[in-house]
Amino acid sequence: MHTRVKNQPIQILLGRPQFRDRDLAALANSAGAAEAWRQALKNGPEAALQQVEGDFAVALSNADGDVFLATDKFATHTLCYALIDGQLLVSPAAKDLAQPGDEIDVQAIYHYLYFHCIPSPSTIFKSVLRLPPAHYLWFSQGRISVKPYWTPRFDEQGPADFAALKQTFLSHLQDGVRRQLDGSKPACFLSGGTDSSTVAGMIAREIGAGADSYSIGFDAEGYDEMAYARLAARHFGTRHHEYYVTPDDLVRGIPEMAAHLDQPFGNSSVLPAYYCAKMARQDGVSRLLAGDGGDELYGGNSRYAKQRLFDMYQQVPSLLQRGLLEPLLLRTLLGKLPLLRKGASYVEQAATPMPDRLQLYNLITRVGPAQVLSPEMLSRIDLAAPLRHQQATWREPGDCSPLNRELAFDWRYTLAESDLPKVRAATALGGVSVGFPMLDDALLSLSLRLPVDYKLKGQQLRWFFKEALRGFLPDEIISKRKQGFGLPFGVWTTRTPALRALAEDSLHGLADRGIVRSDYIKQLLDQQLPAHPGYYGEMVWILMMLEQWLRAHRPHWTVR
């Protein structure tokens, strides 16, 4: 726990900051990162942050009582803060700052149901805030100022020399892995996808034979891709370790993970990643490298190709859009006919601007907040607040292509608010640290200046990334369908009595708290989940994890 006691200094140093200035780098090596930060801050917070790269979170106070906080561009490490009786309290964890009587933020619960996490600057506690990625805080004379020090700016007219860019890319990948290795037993997550396989390969290139790789499997059709992980392990000569997660593991692990989590968190991959980290720790590993970031920096998510198809609708003359297609397909019964239903769906989505369009896929909004939430819960929340949060983030990159705007959007929501916290939570509970070489500043800079069609060429996802690694990665991995450590929770819940009992008990707990309607819980468990376990299993999961977190941290809290 890191908090400020009156008149005592604050010093929190997380991660591996890299100081660009030679004198600052030398000072960090000789006297420590805190002294380098203090020296850099003599020119002001924004100037100081222009001198620093890498992953970091820093909190420092000075002799005048001023406090400086900052997180890196992806909030790889987090900082939370609370102003209480004129004193600024700071900690990496929100729950460390919350006082026993601190009020739960009902709006944050709805944000959790919408995003499956609680995006910064909010936390689950009304009195505690979290510093967003690429932001700094300056506290002086009792006043707090929070500002961004970096926003994405894309150079879309950059050079398209494939051979030169490939060499630069491979060199940056190698450097990124080298910087994240710490001299301990070299090891990595290995799902068998392109990102984790690339990290495994770069470790092998860096140290030669002897790296360890860790993978999770599931005995469920359509969820297991262990064959690709084994292929990558053979190709790069890693010592490969496997663990098959079972439904019983979930029954044991869900309450344990919920108690460990700083806030309610709904990314179900956290459990498989935890068992991976736990297995590594038992083997004597103290640090794992992860492949997160490749999709988001280089255009690898399938939704990017899908959104490009929707954007093509804007090339249709507006008179035809608004005078014929939209009236006929969206406002008459024609759009409900089997042959025209897909066309109506396309027009509905394509006619909706981004990022509002993404709300059409959102689980809680598709099911309907009024169907899920109690009337009292609904009366205390702003249903439009999550979309406003997204709209503000969508505007941040300035003038750029739709694809690059989507990438920057995902840097905030997919990476900083979901995937990185997932891996951090999993590895912390498992007893190991984690590094993200794909998020190295040099690789980020290359993404910012890479031609748009190198990221998405027609409908080919991350074309450049895959072509640059062709010959390094096995062709089967380059061409495979993306999967990762997806959890077959919904399927297992319909087949495993103990898991079903845990889920059912948790969901009824939310009804008792006045959060969720009892009649919806019955419909979800008895009708929706059995009919569509993959889709509605996600709803069961996020509700269950919310209740399990509340039981561990605020067992007596209710909406009423």
- CA 194 → CA 70, 146, 228, 382, 458, distances in Å? 32, 37, 10, 40, 20
The whole-number pLDDT of residue 50 equals: 95
pLDDT over 70 percentage in the chain: 97
Same domain membership, residue 45 and residue 143: yes
Q: What is the pLDDT of residues 219-235, one digit of tens each?
A: 877 677 889 999 999 99
Residue 512 lies in a domain: yes
Q: What is the pLDDT of residues 111-121, one digit of tens each?
A: 999 999 999 99
Residue 399 lies in a domain: yes
Residues paired with 91 in a beta bridge: 80
Q: What is the pLDDT of residues 513-549, one digit of tens each?
A: 999 999 999 999 999 999 999 999 999 999 999 999 9
Residue 101 lies in a domain: yes
Taken as a whole, the chain contains a residue count of 560
Give the domain extent around 358. Answer: 302-405
Burial class (CB in 10 A: 0-12, 13-18, 19+), 481: exposed
**Structure confidence at residue 7 as a pLDDT band (50, 70, 90):** low
Euclidean distance between the first and final Cα of the chain, in Å?
A: 31
Same domain membership, residue 38 and residue 141: yes
Residue 98 lies in a domain: yes
Same domain membership, residue 495 and residue 385: no
Domain end call among 374, 405, 436: 405
Domain end call among 383, 405, 427: 405
Span 134-163, average pLDDT: 92
Same domain membership, residue 400 and residue 493: no
What CATH number corresponds to the domain at position 73? 3.60.20.10
Residue 337 lies in a domain: yes
Span 131-153, average pLDDT: 96
Residue 238 lies in a domain: no
Q: What is the pTM of this model?
A: 0.94
Which residue, 300, 230, 243, 294, is CA-closest to 426? 243
User: Highest mean pLDDT range out of 2-11, 218-227, 304-313?
Assistant: 304-313
Residue 484 lies in a domain: no
Number of domains into which the chain is organized: 3
Burial class (CB in 10 A: 0-12, 13-18, 19+), 307: buried
Residue 433 lies in a domain: no
Domain end call among 123, 148, 173: 148
